[in-house]
Homo-oligomer: A and B are copies of this chain.
Amino acid sequence: MTISAENSLNLIAVAKKTRLAALKLAVLSTEAKNQAIEAIAQSLESAKDEILQANVADCERATTDGIAKPLYKRLQLDEHKLRDAIAGVRDVGKLSDPVGAVQIHRELDQGLILKRVTCPLGVLGVIFEARPEAAIQIVTLAIKSGNGVIFKGGKEATRSCEAIVKAIKQGLSQTAVHPDAVQLLTTREEILELLRLDKYVDLVIPRGSNSFVRFVQENTRIPVLGHADGICHLYIDKAADLEKAIAITVDAKTNYPAACNAIETLLIHASIAAKFLPKVAEVLGKLNVELRGDERTREIVPKIATATEEDWETEYSDLILSIKVVDSLEDAIAHINNYGSKHTDAIITEDAEAAQTFLALVNAAGVYHNCSTRFADGFRYGFGAEVGISTQQMPPRGPVGLEGLVTYKYQMTGNGHIVATYTGADAKPFTFKDLG
C-alpha cells in the first residue's frame, strides 16, 4: 500500500472534522444522545429497501469475484438481519450512559475538591472485514459513549456500508449530534493512513482475521482494542468429574469452533488420561472433531494424528483439537502460560484447592473453573454490549463493554488554592476526605 500526499491530507481533514463534531458530542446529555440513537433506528428503517438493494449489489459482485462461502454468509444482509441490527440500536439506547460517572470525589482541603469523572475517548477508528451490520452496532456504541467514529468496512461491503452510513447521517442531521461525527472510509489505502493518525484517533478497533488484527497492532502507535489470537485451553485435572469434563469439552470445542473463545488444546492429567481419553475421543469423533495428540495421548488413543510444537501455538478456528497429557497441575499451568494467548482458560476439577491455584496462577483475561470457555463474551458477562475482547495485560482486559470506549479526567475546583500553602516548614496538611 502506498499513500499519496493528497490522500493523506484529505484524511487529516476528515479526522479534524470528526474531532470537532466529537468534541460537541462529548458534552451532550444522555437524553440528547438517546434521541440521536432513536433517530438512527428510524432512519435505518426508512432506508431499509435502499440498504438491502445495495447489499444485493455487493453480494452479486462478490459472487462474480468468487468470494469464499463463509465470507459471503457474513456479507449477506437480509431483512431479518437488518431488523435485528435496528433492534440492537434501540437496545444500546437503553444501556446506561458510560459518560459522567464520578469515580473519585474527594476533599483535599476545605474548598479544594477533586473529582475523577468518566469522559469519551474522542475519536474511534474502526476497521472491519465483511459484516455490514457491524457498522450499525459500532456507530451506535460510539454515539452512546460520546465518541466520533471513522470507520472502514470490508471492500466487499462497500455499497452496503455506504447506504448504511448515508441513512445514519440522515438520521443524525435532525438531532444534536452533527453527522460529521460519523465518517466512512472507502479505499483500502486509507487503512494504513488511518493507523498513522495518532494525533486525531484515540483508539483503533479492528475486527477480522487474526493476521489482519496483528497487522493493525504492528502498524500503529494508537492503542488497539482487540486480540489477534484466541488460543484457549481446557485442563482436565486428576480430580475432574468426567461427566462435566466431557460436556464442557464438547461445548467449548464444538458449540462455535470459529469463535475466539473456543478451545484449541485439551490438557489431561496423566492419572486420569487412560479413563478419560477414550471416552472423549469417541464423543468428539462422532462430532467430526479431528484430534491431534502428543505421544502419551497416542499411546492411549493411537488412531489420532501426532501433535507437533506448531499445534500448541495454533488457533484452528475449526473442528480440530490438540491434546496433551501432563503430569501435574503445575505442568498444565506452565503449558498454558507458555503457549496461551491470555484469552480464556479453564480447569475441570472437584478439588477446590487445585481450582484456586489454577485461577490464581494462569495468566489470562479469563480463568474458569468447571464451566465452558465459551462464556467469555460481553453479553454473557452482563455488559449489554461488547466492543471487543482484549488479551492485553493492562486494563481493559477480557470482554470489554461500553466502559472500554471512555476514559476519565481529574477535575479540581478551588478558590485560589496554591501548592505553596501545602509545602515547606509550615505546610498545611491535606484533609483527604472522601465525599458521598
- Chain A positions near chain B (C-beta within 8 angstroms): 23, 26-27, 106, 108, 112, 114, 121-122, 202-203, 223, 241, 243-244, 247-248, 250-252, 255, 355, 359-361, 363-372, 374-376, 380-382, 392-395, 397-399, 407-420, 422-423, 430, 432
Option from B121, B364, B416, B423 in Cβ contact (under 8 Å) with A255: B423
Complex CA distance for A301 and B1, rounded to whole angstroms: 53
**Listed residue (A376, A412, A416) with the most chain B CB atoms within 10 angstroms of its CB:** A412
Complex CA distance for A395 and B420, rounded to whole angstroms: 29
Residues on B with beta carbons closer than 8 Å to the beta carbon of A422 = 380
Residues on B with beta carbons closer than 8 Å to the beta carbon of A411 = 359, 366-369
Complex CA distance for A407 and B374, rounded to whole angstroms: 22
Option from B121, B380, B392, B394 in Cβ contact (under 8 Å) with A419: B380
Contact B395 A395 (CB under 8 A): yes
Q: Please, which residue of chain B has its CB at the minimum distance from the CB of A244?
A: B416
Contact B382 A417 (CB under 8 A): no
Complex CA distance for A416 and B114, rounded to whole angstroms: 47
Complex CA distance for A135 and B420, rounded to whole angstroms: 28
User: Taking the nearest CB of chain B, how far is it from the CB of A416, in angstroms?
Assistant: 4
Residues on B with beta carbons closer than 8 Å to the beta carbon of A364 = 409
Chain A contact surface mostly: mixed
Contact B393 A248 (CB under 8 A): no
User: Taking the nearest CB of chain B, how far is it from the CB of A276, in angstroms?
Assistant: 15
- CB<8 Å pairs between A and B, sample of 30: A27-B361, A108-B375, A108-B381, A121-B394, A122-B393, A202-B393, A203-B394, A223-B394, A241-B416, A247-B418, A255-B420, A359-B411, A365-B410, A366-B412, A368-B411, A368-B414, A369-B413, A370-B413, A370-B415, A370-B416, A370-B417, A371-B417, A372-B417, A372-B419, A375-B412, A375-B417, A380-B419, A380-B422, A382-B432, A399-B410
17 new A-B contacts at CB < 8 Å, known A122-B393, A365-B410: A106-B382, A114-B381, A121-B394, A122-B363, A202-B393, A202-B394, A243-B416, A247-B416, A251-B418, A255-B418, A365-B409, A369-B411, A371-B417, A375-B412, A376-B410, A380-B422, A398-B409
Residues on B with beta carbons closer than 8 Å to the beta carbon of A397 = 407-409
User: Taking the nearest CB of chain B, how far is it from the CB of A274, in angstroms?
Assistant: 22
Complex CA distance for A119 and B363, rounded to whole angstroms: 10
Complex CA distance for A346 and B432, rounded to whole angstroms: 21
Residues on B with beta carbons closer than 8 Å to the beta carbon of A414 = 368-372, 375
**7 nearest interchain CB pairs?**
A371-B414, A251-B418, A374-B419, A244-B416, A371-B417, A382-B432, A368-B412
User: Taking the nearest CB of chain B, how far is it from the CB of A105, in angstroms?
Assistant: 12
Given known A-B contacts A381-B114, A418-B371, A361 and B407 have beta carbons under 8 A apart: no
Residues on B with beta carbons closer than 8 Å to the beta carbon of A418 = 247-248, 250-252, 255, 371-372, 374
Contact A407 B420 (CB under 8 A): no
Q: Please, which residue of chain B has its CB at the minimum distance from the CB of A434?
A: B382
**Listed residue (A366, A409, A423) with the most chain B CB atoms within 10 angstroms of its CB:** A409
